[in-house]
Structure 1
Amino acid sequence: MERIFQAGDIMLGALLPLHIDKEYHPVSFRERPPHINCTTFNFENFQQLQALIIAVEEINKNPNIIPNITLGFQAYDSCNVLQKDLEGMFQILTGHGEAIPNYQCLKNISVAAVIGPYVSTHAILLANILGVYRYPQISHFATSRLLSNQVMFPSFFRTVPSDAFQSEGLAKLVLFFSWTWVGLLAVDNDYGQQGIQVVKQEIEKAGACVAFSETILMSLPDRNAKHIVKVMKDSTATAIVVFSLPADFLPVLEEMLVQNITTKMLVASEGWSTSTLFIGHKFKDILYGTIGLGLQSGIIPEFRGFLNKAHLSTGLGNYWLKLLWEDIFTCKFLEEKNLTTPMEKPVNICTGIESLESISNSYNDVSSLRTTYNVYTAVHVVAKALEDLKNCCETGDLCPHRRCPDIWNFTPWQLLYYVRKVRIKLSSGRDLFFDQNGDPPAVYDIVNWKLSPEGTIKQVKVGSYDIAASFGQFFTLNTSAIMWATEDHKCSWDEWPNLQNSRCIQKGIEYLSYEDPLGATLAATSILSSLVPVFILRLFIKHRTTPIVKANNYSLSCLLLFCLPLCFLCSLAFVGFPQPEKCLLCQVAFGLVFALCVSCILAKTIMVVLAFMATKPVSKLRRLASPLVSYIIISICFLLQFLLCMVWLLKAPPHTEYNTETKPGIIIVQCNNGSTVGFWSMLGYLGLLATISFIVAFLSRGLPDTFNEAKYITFSMLAFLSVWVSFTLASLSAQGKYIVATEIFAILSSSWALVICMFVSKCYIILFKPQMNSRKSLIKKDCKPVRAKHIM
């Protein structure tokens, strides 16, 4: 196998597909298969080899990373062929270009890790073998979700996210644009089949339809392209999700070119979404407008200069450098071509003095390094693990066997322990680390294929997809920057295409309306409920001279009963079309009314305590038991909530929002709270008032029965807090109009809790037990002894 070898005290292995295809020969199974000849040299992948070399150079020159130790490497060209990946792995483990299982030729030199392979199916096979010996394996491109099984593959890691995240992202991307009639195309390996199944499940679960699902057959030279393109041509589906690698998708594009298929909207997996294999003029009419997920890009310092310094005279990878030279400068070296043989076309002769600095193409374009940056990152992961292993004694971070390994003589499983714990800083500012499955955090770029001024295809980042973002904020997408392949998907934001993509139809609109049975029920309940505290207020006014009304602070009770109908009625502001004025006021009105209500209860609680503690004639607290103090408490508490709401309205006020992301084909019209901090601060302040009332009432629950208001306040505040804690949890999972319905239900429930706990028992005595509503009955209760521990 073709390889590069650079000696070192510790060796690193790498398997990279510098060629991306092979010659296909019929296999009869009657004779030994012919030797595998690699074809289609790819200088984009040669850039990955250069990233490996520069990373090793940086590490060896850096005195802060494994000083006095030289990191060497062996790199093999796998040609995207399973047998060559397997052979290359054994040669890495054996050393000196030999492939002898269970034998190591490099005496006293440890093999730290293997970087690669490129393809998921190959990575699975190698992970089964390397896992036996616990050799750390770090792939820069294998994304199959099967590889996340650390029980089966205990030493496998990767610097790319799992397809479990990508597949969901592609499905969400399709649904984001409201494409409901979608074709699926995937390569027939673990990467393609596992990935496309999740896409299909997510699309169908959301109510969209799959027009067709076809497979790219890797075993055939043409990849079954004629059949696939015929299906695409016959189908009315315009959007097609393609899960493939560039070399396997190339024959399909060639056949699309032959059959003149230029009206399909391709949605690309990360395997080919940023490939430079298709960026020439040839496929521009087919690929223009393609959108897909790409691996997050990174920057390697001084990498362009390093790439341009590559020259035949360096001797490192001379064979591949010749291929690079011939590919970039469109020439042939003399020894590669017999010039005396008649040729159909004249061939330029490579002189070897050509300068890479004079050209500008995808080889020395370092503006958006993706797979290349993942190779660079993988090398630094190994170096960081080696550094941590070397510093084991200094940090006290011992291996499971409780002893520090020797950096000059360590076993693979000892280094594996430190690879699991690696955390390094990426050029984007993010940290790379591995979770319990050996996967890094999942972040993707959303790329769109546009035409450059020169008429070639360029891939432009138009957004990002971040799994770690807050709920509902996974996509950051600049839709105005997207160029589309066909006019048929250019529906306005409030429309979506029909199944045949022949016309745009209006999206349905969803909000909690009065015509909706749920909205009508909640509105009716609010109105009827508001009559109850009005009835109780009239009852209190009529019996205001009775002892039970006097004993429970008549003025504060009336103020509370005046607030409670407003609490019930404020829920009506949430029903109906969310107009800007309604959005601006509904949450604020709710916050202020409930603040006034809970402030009254807090004042009642404090007055109960003060009234009992000020019973002695010489007590200094007698002046604090006056009604004026209760009104001051209410005013201060209400004023704080008022100021909080005013700041909220001035800084980031609520507004009407048209949500087209949550449900495909549906526009959810809702009130955006503007400032999340403002909303939860307002709600949190209510919770603070209720908590203080609860604590004070609970501590004073043992006062004489004349003042047993504390017991009822304790129960009312406990119910109030329970309702709003439940709302907070429920709102995290609710969507659309059900979020509004949940808040209305919380408003009604908490209001009813106050009515029932604070007033039902008093109304019962007034209406049905008038004999208990007498001075004599209250005096009897006053005579009961009080234990001091209840009033501390």
Structure 2
Amino acid sequence: MRFAIEEINNSTDLLPGISLGYNIYDTCSSIVRSIKVALALTNGNKNVSITSNKPCTRPGEVLAIVGENSSSSSTAVTTVIGPFHMPLISHFATCACLSDKSKYPSFLRTIPSDYYQSRALAHLVKHFGWTWVGAVRTNDDYGNNGMATFTETAEQLGICLEYSVSFFRTDSSEKLQKIIDIIKASTSKVIVGFLTPREMEIILHELSLYNLTGYQWVGSESWIFDSQIAAMDKNHILDGAIGLFIPKAHVSGLKEFMLDVKPFNSSNNGLFTEFWEALFNCKFKKSQSKESQTECSGHEDLTAVENSFTDMSLMPIFNNIYKGVYAVAHALHNILGCNKTCNSSVPLEPFTILRHIQKIHFQTKEGEEVYFNENGDPAAKYEIINWQPRNSGIVDFVSVGLYDSSLHQVKQLNLQNKTFIWAQSSKLVPVSVCNEKCPPGTRKVLQKGKPVCCYDCIRCAEGEMSNITGYKVFIIHF
């Protein structure tokens, strides 16, 4: 966010002569804290950082908010600020529920809605012939809405769920144990995980205790590209996982900016201290605790650290934040009638800014088009990611295909001719069906109390014949 704002403030083409200010809050994944921050911002919090030495020409009022990253927090925040028409642009909240403009009129996002992701996951499962699957989800807006859409689409495609269970990070160990028992007793070999990273870490820990390998995991975008989760998976529970993530992105100059944290240090920013101590497992003198820890010098070598911050694996998410900030800037550019100069006397109201953001259509410096549809959503495109472990134990997130909702349905799922790695590092596509197809000469008889994917194959009676594998209606011959 800071990178985008400094870039805009240094631009002579976008908002010339205008400097944007900002305030950054860490809501610590707390919905309550998110609401408090939103209320503080809408009530005219004056504590705004600026990136220019020039005096402000108008009060430092907040005109738009970029965030939150979770669907539940975004739902809560946009409910609070919606009546004030304050734009909220999220970079990672994907719940399809947020597309309802009658409930969330001021919400927009730079990441696709789960309306598309859930359907894409169902078509991915169908593509590999997995008609008998289990499902685990986070018990929140993200997990429940996402899995509901997946289940609906899966049923339409002839896929049956053997079980569908949910949990939240605060649930008891007894509830987690029940979920583990359900998985252990199941016959399906594919598990669809619509989970946030925190819940994925929890279930991964539980699965590792029982060494429950051999299941083919299908993941949502929230965790499928998470290098921290991959590093935690010492028992190779998730080897061969497949799922969807935001397409690769590049923002020139961003990596260099993020690796140069001296401006944060020189501005006495508390964010720098917290970040540095966590990254290098050290403590600055002023924050020394009783625990014995290495003292931070502030000159540790950031380039020698390997994690999701320094390797830029989260660049697609950073890019979403970048686009959100630029969407606000382009809206302001239009409102202020900017050409070589801007009319800074034009009154700015959140409602006016919201309406202009909804109508913007621009290209980033990398050539990516940015716009919102009538629901405040961007176009839905995903990369299909396959977890492929190396001999060193590090997992490569390999792009094996694309899903583009803007194409004709038969062309939306495009898998590349690449080598896949499946559960337990197998190169053979796993099989997960309740029953094999009935051979010619037999007919299907549904099993009582079981889904339609489960049946017995009964030999046809004399004078009747089925000559199609898996057929359930007789061809009668006289």
Q: Does the alignment reach a TM-score above 0.5?
A: yes
Cα distance in 1 for partners of 2:167, 2:149 equals 17
The Cα offsets for residues 228-254 of structure 1, whole Å up to 9 and x where unpaired, read as 222112212111111111012211111
Are positions 1:214 and 2:149 aligned together? no
Shift of 1:316: 4.6
Cα distance in 2 for partners of 1:406, 1:414 equals 15
For residue 155 of structure 1, the aligned residue among 106, 109, 112 is 106
> Secondary structure in 2 aligned to 1:279?
helix
Cα distance in 1 for partners of 2:343, 2:103 equals 26
> Secondary structure in 2 aligned to 1:370?
helix
1:125 aligns with 76
For residue 274 of structure 1, the aligned residue among 198, 204, 225 is 225
Q: 1:108 to 1:332 in 2, by over 3 A?
A: closer
**Mapping 1:632-711, distance limit 5 Å:** none
For residue 363 of structure 1, the aligned residue among 292, 309, 317 is 309
Does the 8 Å CA contact 1:222/1:251 hold for their aligned counterparts?
Answer: no
2:445 aligns with none
The alignment's C-alpha RMSD in Å is 2.9
Does the 8 Å CA contact 1:60/1:70 hold for their aligned counterparts?
Answer: yes
Q: Which stretch shows the higher mean deviation, 64-73 or 451-460?
A: 451-460
Are positions 1:83 and 2:32 aligned together? yes
For 1:95, give the aligned amino acid. N
Cα distance in 1 for partners of 2:212, 2:189 equals 11
2:377 aligns with 439
Aligned length: 431
Cα distance in 2 for partners of 1:217, 1:358 equals 36
1:499 aligns with 434
Shift of 1:129: 2.3
Does the 8 Å CA contact 1:421/1:434 hold for their aligned counterparts?
Answer: yes
1:260 aligns with 211
Shift of 1:456: 1.7
1:562 aligns with none
Cα distance in 1 for partners of 2:369, 2:59 equals 34
Cα distance in 2 for partners of 1:360, 1:489 equals 29
2:261 aligns with 310
Cα distance in 2 for partners of 1:223, 1:273 equals 27
Shift of 1:151: 2.1
**Larger relative helix fraction:** 1
**Mapping 1:9-408, distance limit 5 Å:** 52-93=1-42, 94-96=44-46, 108-220=59-171, 224-280=175-231, 282-283=233-234, 285-311=236-262, 314-316=265-267, 318-338=269-289, 347-366=293-312, 369-391=315-337, 408=346
Q: 1:233 to 1:405 in 2, by over 3 A?
A: farther
For 1:146, give the aligned amino acid. C
For 2:151, give the aligned amino acid. K
Q: 1:119 to 1:425 in 2, by over 3 A?
A: same
Does the 8 Å CA contact 1:263/1:485 hold for their aligned counterparts?
Answer: yes
Does the 8 Å CA contact 1:289/1:483 hold for their aligned counterparts?
Answer: yes
> Secondary structure in 1 aligned to 2:295?
coil
> Secondary structure in 1 aligned to 2:12?
coil
1:781 aligns with none
The Cα offsets for residues 565-621 of structure 1, whole Å up to 9 and x where unpaired, read as xxxxxxxxxxxxxxxxxxxxxxxxxxxxxxxxxxxxxxxxxxxxxxxxxxxxxxxxx
For 2:178, give the aligned amino acid. H
TM-score after normalising by structure 2: 0.83
1:737 aligns with none
Cα distance in 2 for partners of 1:167, 1:317 equals 44
Higher relative contact order (CA 8 A, sep 6+): 2
> Secondary structure in 2 aligned to 1:448?
strand
For 1:138, give the aligned amino acid. I
Gapped regions of structure 1 (runs ≥ 5): 1-51, 99-105, 395-403, 510-663, 665-792
Shift of 1:157: 0.6
> Secondary structure in 2 aligned to 1:130?
helix
Q: 1:385 to 1:475 in 2, by over 3 A?
A: same
The Cα offsets for residues 182-210 of structure 1, whole Å up to 9 and x where unpaired, read as 00111111111111011111112222211
Shift of 1:428: 6.5
Cα distance in 2 for partners of 1:223, 1:250 equals 17
The Cα offsets for residues 419-440 of structure 1, whole Å up to 9 and x where unpaired, read as 0111122477442211111111
Does the 8 Å CA contact 1:449/1:457 hold for their aligned counterparts?
Answer: yes
Q: 1:238 to 1:152 in 2, by over 3 A?
A: same
Q: Which stretch shows the higher mean deviation, 430-439 or 364-373?
A: 364-373
Cα distance in 2 for partners of 1:438, 1:133 equals 17
TM-score after normalising by structure 1: 0.51
Does the 8 Å CA contact 1:161/1:441 hold for their aligned counterparts?
Answer: yes
Cα distance in 2 for partners of 1:454, 1:488 equals 17
The Cα offsets for residues 325-368 of structure 1, whole Å up to 9 and x where unpaired, read as 233323333444446x6x6xxx4332221121233332122366
> Secondary structure in 2 aligned to 1:185?
strand
Shift of 1:498: 3.6
Does the 8 Å CA contact 1:284/1:457 hold for their aligned counterparts?
Answer: no
Q: 1:120 to 1:170 in 2, by over 3 A?
A: same
Following TM superposition, the consecutive aligned residue runs of length 4 or more in structure 1 with deviations greater than 6 angstroms are 506-509
1:764 aligns with none
> Secondary structure in 2 aligned to 1:320?
helix
Does the 8 Å CA contact 1:297/1:373 hold for their aligned counterparts?
Answer: no
Shift of 1:506: 7.4
Shift of 1:279: 2.5
For 1:353, give the aligned amino acid. H
Q: 1:353 to 1:73 in 2, by over 3 A?
A: same
Does the 8 Å CA contact 1:449/1:483 hold for their aligned counterparts?
Answer: yes
The Cα offsets for residues 397-454 of structure 1, whole Å up to 9 and x where unpaired, read as xxxxxxx996653111111121011112247744221111111111111111121353
The Cα offsets for residues 274-295 of structure 1, whole Å up to 9 and x where unpaired, read as 1232131544601211111111
Are positions 1:413 and 2:351 aligned together? yes
Larger radius of gyration: 1
For 1:61, give the aligned amino acid. N
Cα distance in 1 for partners of 2:336, 2:420 equals 49
Cα distance in 2 for partners of 1:378, 1:335 equals 36
Gapped regions of structure 2 (runs ≥ 5): 49-56, 441-452, 454-478
Cα distance in 2 for partners of 1:421, 1:137 equals 15
> Secondary structure in 1 aligned to 2:237?
helix
Does the 8 Å CA contact 2:204/2:233 hold for their aligned counterparts?
Answer: no
Does the 8 Å CA contact 1:167/1:195 hold for their aligned counterparts?
Answer: yes
